[in-house]
């Protein structure tokens, strides 16, 4: 085994390569679309209000489930809000762009993993 490679003599190269990877990822179309969709969502009061109402009703129904039977009215309200959220164009765009961005991040992991012969993401996990 050779422990004296030039790269080992300069561990900063690894950080440099990582920052280059981050730079390319954060300038990708997927990342830009996600940031744009996120911004659109944050600027839309109706969409934010819808998400807040959904979170409130979800919490209420969860608490009711833990203490007994949830009210039918609240369950109906929850289902209705879930449909409204799923159909909201800005929320849809956000979800879609987030999925696309995650798909790119997964591709990056696959490429690194193929090169090193180990699942890179698993190595990075803190247990």
Partner 1 sequence: MEPYNELELTPTSVVLESARQYAGVFKNTRQYQNFVSAYNHFLEDEVAQQTLYQLRQKQEQIRNQHLSTPVSEADQAEIKRLEQIFFEQPAVRSYLDAQNDLLALAQKQGDTLSEALGLDFAGVCRRGGCCG
Position 20 contacts partner 1 (CB under 8 A): yes
89 contacts partner 1 (rule: CB under 8 A): no
Asked if 46 touches partner 1 (CB under 8 A), the answer is no
Q: String of b and e for 11-48 (b: at least 16 CB within 10 Å)?
A: eeeeeeeeeeeeeeeeeeebbebbeebeebbeebeebe
Residue 92 backbone zone (phi > 0: left; psi -120 to 50: alpha; other: beta) = alpha
Question: Under the criterion CB under 8 A, does residue 66 sit at the interface with partner 1?
Answer: no
- Contact segment (CB under 8 A) with partner 1 among 46-54, 65-73, 77-85, 107-115 equals 107-115
Which residues bind to partner 1, rule: CB under 8 A? 1-3, 5, 7-8, 11, 13-18, 20-32, 35-36, 39-40, 102-116, 119-126
């Amino acid at each position: 085994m050779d422990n004296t490679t030039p790269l080992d003599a300069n561990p900063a190269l690894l950080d440099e390569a990582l920052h280059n990877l981050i730079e390319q990822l954060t300038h990708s179309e997927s990342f830009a679309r996600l940031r744009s969709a996120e911004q659109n969502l944050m600027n839309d009061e109706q969409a934010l209000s819808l998400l807040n109402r959904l979170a409130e009703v979800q919490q209420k129904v969860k608490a009711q489930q833990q203490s007994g039977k949830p009210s039918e009215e609240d369950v109906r309200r929850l289902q209705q809000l879930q449909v409204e959220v799923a159909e909201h164009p800005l929320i849809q765009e956000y979800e879609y762009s987030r999925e696309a961005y995650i798909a790119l991040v997964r591709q990056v992991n696959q490429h690194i993993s193929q090169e090193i012969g180990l699942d890179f993401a698993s190595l990075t996990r803190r247990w």
